[in-house]
Amino acid sequence: MNYDDFIDGFLIRSIYMGAKWALRLWIPSNPMVVLGRFSKESEEIKEECKLPIKRRLGGGCSVTIYPGTIIVSLAINRSLRPEIFPRDWIAFINRSVISALEALGLDEIEEQGWGDITCKDKKIGGISLYSSKDVILYQLSLIYHLDIELIESSLKHPPREPNYRKGRNHRSFLSSIKEIAPRISQYSVMQKIEEKLREDLSKVV
């Protein structure tokens, strides 16, 4: 498999070269749609969408990312802690992210559904996970500023959804960090999440 064909797949090469884990936080410079590894464009992306389309290694439905989102990608060498199952890694990493957001003053942040990060029953972040016997790749798309027009113009209602969504459309279902805490900068969010992840990972890997 050519990992470079997928968003942040190159992080996995770091694991095979001997790294315990490899972390990247970044802001997309331009809008794009990212498909889950097995997602079908015809089911999830609107025909009128003109954005570039890329894929990630993990599953899940498509997301639209743009400069108002924060991408957190983390590859971990599974052989160092083989007793930890992929779902437990999701919970562990999400707890770190949630703790970082709480440290910045955000309230009522929790995990719901399939690893979503939410505030007051609205989604502000969604995750995807790729897992092999050697490595996992966790990827989080965290909404700092919500560009609902861009999302609505590019994505259909997903073919699968967590129970807590309750059929809500994108506009009713999504929120953002800026809406919750407008004084917190995008870069301070990134800095705090990276700081917390590095701290927590150093204790277990």
pLDDT tens digits, 23-78? 999 999 999 999 999 999 999 999 999 999 999 999 999 999 999 999 999 999 99
Give this prediction's pTM.
Answer: 0.96
Answer yes or no: is pLDDT of 112 > 90. Answer: yes
In this prediction, residue 184 carries a pLDDT of: 97
CB 91 within 8 A of CB 111: yes
Tokens of 49: 């969408």
- In order of 89, 119, 155, the CA distances from 105 in angstroms are 25, 12, 31
- The tokens describing 64, both together, are 């639209």
Whole-angstrom distance, CA of residue 141 vs CA of residue 65: 7
The pLDDT value recorded for residue 35 is 97
* Average of per-residue pLDDT across 1-25: 95
Residue 202's Cβ-count burial label (10 Å; 0-12, 13-18, 19+) is exposed
> What residue segments make up the domains of the chain, in order of their start?
3-204
Q: List, for residues 122-156, the tens digit of each pLDDT value.
A: 999 999 999 999 999 999 999 999 999 999 999 99
Q: Rounded mean pLDDT of the chain?
A: 96
Q: What is the spatial distance between Cα 134 and Cα 86, in angstroms, rounded to a whole number? A: 11
Q: Partners of 112 in the beta sheet?
A: 116
Q: At the topology level of CATH, where does 3-204 sit?
A: BirA Bifunctional Protein; domain 2 (3.30.930)
Judged against a pLDDT cut of 90, whether residue 1 lies above it is answered with no
Label residue 180 by pLDDT band (50, 70, 90). very high
- Following DSSP, what letter does each residue of 13-62 receive, concatenated? HHHHTT-SEEEEEE--SS-EEEE-TT--HHHHB-TT--S-EEE-SS-S--
For residue 91, which of 132, 122, 136, 36 has the smallest C-alpha distance? 136
Residue 2 has pLDDT above 90, yes or no: no
- Residue 186's SS3 state is helix
Q: Average pLDDT in the 75-101 region?
A: 96
pLDDT for the residue numbered 31: 98
By DSSP bridging, strand 109-112 and strand 116-119 are antiparallel
Mean pLDDT of the 96-113 span: 97
The predicted structure's pLDDT at residue 127? 97
Residue 195: pLDDT over 90: yes
Strands (DSSP E) along the chain, which ranges? 21-26, 32-35, 53-55, 63-65, 69-77, 109-112, 116-119, 122-131, 135-143
